[in-house]
Amino acid sequence: MIEEKHGLTPYKWIDNYADYLYNFTISRVNNSDLAKDLVQETFLAGLKSAKNFQGKATERTWLVSILKRKIIDHYRKINSKKGQAEVRMDFYDDGENKGSWLEEHVPQNWDNASEKQIENEELRNQLEVCINKLPEKYAMVFRMKTVQEFETEEICKELGITSSNLWVMIHRARTQLRKCMEDNWFNN
Amino acid sequence: MFRNLKITCDQATTICDKNQYREASTKDKIRLCLHLIVCRICVKYSKQNTTLSNLYKGHSQYCKDVKHCLTTKEKEDLKALLEKNKE
């Protein structure tokens, strides 16, 4: 059997690793249904490839490496939807004044900014609404870098992107978030 | 020499964003500083960016403190599925 031959204990996987893998996934994709699907796929893939387990890493590390591949696959899937559902806002001129602010997107003064910075649930909810309005790949990279505070190198490795790609996405995400928070929180 | 240091608002705000994570290079920081001397809009962006970074930090701490768990029922379903797919 699998467990005897390779030292794996699939009958204990759910009790030992399900919550860990679920937390790992949700910190990256922030969607509970998707996270559950990816965890399930990971366990099934683990069963299927149990014969390849060489015992060089721990069972958990091995399962996480399978899960990471599933997350990359998901990222590639959303990345290949380029331009389809992506609502990309242009904040800068693309013509004569290339790179300058477009008049309609120039940052406005924020009313009562200091009062509005007080941490509360309403603010967190608004922030989540704004993050969720971002194109999925931007939201994913932004969450990993800013919310989960992963190292740049780690994100690039996990998602198979360059650091230039990452900074472009972070910049676009933060520019859109600033505008969204300005419209819905600071000047609302 | 200074021509090489001249950047657009798009480039300046990109550096400003990178700097929020303390990952902008020294050259980029010099470019940003020079740009901020002449661009009041980007100065405003930069100040608001710092405010937002503080908000994101608070949000980050809150998110990290939340532990997500599968329900007992979800775990039982997963166990059944694994059992079914076992060799």
3-state secondary structure chain B: CHHHHCCCHHHHHHHHHHHCCCCCCHHHHHHHHHHHHHCHHHHHHHHHHHHHHHHHHHHHHHHHHCCCCCCHHHHHHHHHHHHHHCC
Q: Where are the domains of chain A?
A: 2-79, 103-186
Q: Is the pLDDT of residue B33 over 60?
A: yes
- Among chain B residues, the shortest Cα distance to A19 is held by B69
pLDDT given at position A2: 52
CA distance A59 to chain B (A): 16
Give mean pLDDT, residues B39-46. 95
Contact B21 A152 (CB under 8 A): yes
Res. A144 pLDDT band, cuts 50 70 90:
very high
Contact A101 B11 (CB under 8 A): no
Contact A15 B14 (CB under 8 A): no
Helix (H, G, I), strand (E, B) or coil at A173: helix
pLDDT given at position A87: 54
Helix (H, G, I), strand (E, B) or coil at A33: helix
Among A97-101, B26-30, B34-38, the minimum mean pLDDT is found in A97-101
The share of chain A scoring above pLDDT 90, in percent, equals 53
Q: Which long-range contacts (CB under 8 A, 24 or more apart) does A128-134 make?
A: A129/A180, A129/A184, A130/A176, A130/A177, A130/A180, A130/A181, A130/A184, A131/A177, A133/A176, A133/A180, A134/A173, A134/A176, A134/A177
pLDDT given at position A97: 82
Contact B18 A175 (CB under 8 A): no
Q: Is the pLDDT of residue B29 over 90?
A: yes
CATH number for the domain whose boundaries are A2-79: 1.10.1740
The C-alpha atoms of residue A111 and residue A24 are separated, in whole angstroms, by 38
- Mean pLDDT across chain A, nearest whole number? 87
The share of chain B scoring above pLDDT 90, in percent, equals 72
Among A149-153, A167-171, A179-183, B4-8, the minimum mean pLDDT is found in B4-8
CA trace torsion A165, A170, A173, A174 (10° rounding): -150
pLDDT given at position B52: 93
Q: Is the pLDDT of residue A3 over 60?
A: no
Give mean pLDDT, residues B13-41. 96
Q: A103-186: what fold?
A: Arc Repressor Mutant, subunit A (1.10.10)
Q: What is the DSSP letter of A135?
A: -
Q: Is the pLDDT of residue B2 over 70?
A: no
Q: Where are the domains of chain B?
A: 2-85
A37-87: pLDDT as tens digits: 999 999 999 999 988 888 888 999 999 999 999 998 998 888 876 555 555
B59 at A interface, C-beta within 8 A: yes
Give mean pLDDT, residues B10-14. 95
Give mean pLDDT, residues B50-58. 91
pLDDT given at position A98: 86
Rg of chain B taking only CA atoms, in angstroms = 23
The C-alpha atoms of residue A88 and residue A75 are separated, in whole angstroms, by 18
CA distance B82 to chain A (A): 7
Domains A2-79 and A103-186 share a fold: no
| Cβ neighbours, 10 Å, residue A120 | 10
